[in-house]
Amino acid sequence: MQPLDPAEIRASFVNCSRGEAKSITLPADIPWEKRDFLGWRDVKAPGRAYLVVPRGDEVIGLSLRAAAPPKSRLRSNICAFCTTTHPLADITLFSARLAGKAGRDGNTVGTYLCSDLACSAYLRGELKPAVPQPKETLSEEERVERMNEKIGRFVARVLETR
């Protein structure tokens, strides 16, 4: 993705207050050319996470809340963005407040994702998940494309109420 400066990142958020956008701890040392979107956990506020996603000429920032680890009998789960299979501890339910009034009224949309939101790094083999992956016939490029489509749909759901 195209590099963004801190002011551009803070200005991109569509589902939180300006005050919250100002208080976000930004990630450091981003390898922009190897990232399709930014996703990070707030090191100073572990329940908070953020996505910054290119969308046409725009960049859309989403503030997320991370749920506590699930109590489930499943041993593993799949990230809804990058389709990486992880042990349950490495998957987190994230919820995003909808944009606009719907969000201020408390409406959210949730999805299960890589706990560290490092989807781009998993797809490029920079990070290895802790469990073996099912065989896939898609190339890396096709998998990145599929991820971008899924992220686009998630962002669209948040923006529907903008």
What one-letter code names the amino acid at 131? V
Q: Site residues for Zn ion, window 105-124 (CB under 5 A)?
A: 114, 119
Lay out the site mask for Zn ion across 57-86 (x = CB under 5 A, - = otherwise).
----------------------x-xx----
Grouping H, G, I as helix, E, B as strand and the rest as coil, residue 86 is strand
Contact call for residues 127 and 86 (beta carbons, < 8 A): no
Q: Site residues for Zn ion, window 8-47 (CB under 5 A)?
A: none
Residue 93 within binding range of Zn ion, rule CB under 5 A: no
Residue 51 within binding range of Zn ion, rule CB under 5 A: no
Number of residues forming the site for Zn ion (CB under 5 A): 5
In the complex, residue closest to Zn ion by CB? 79
Strands (DSSP E) contained in the chain are 38-42, 45-55, 58-66, 76-78, 85-87, 91-97, 108-114
- Alpha-carbon gap, residue 106 to 46, rounded angstroms: 21
Residue 114 vs 155, nearer CB to Zn ion: 114
Q: Where do contacts with Zn ion occur on this chain (CB under 5 A)?
A: 79, 81-82, 114, 119
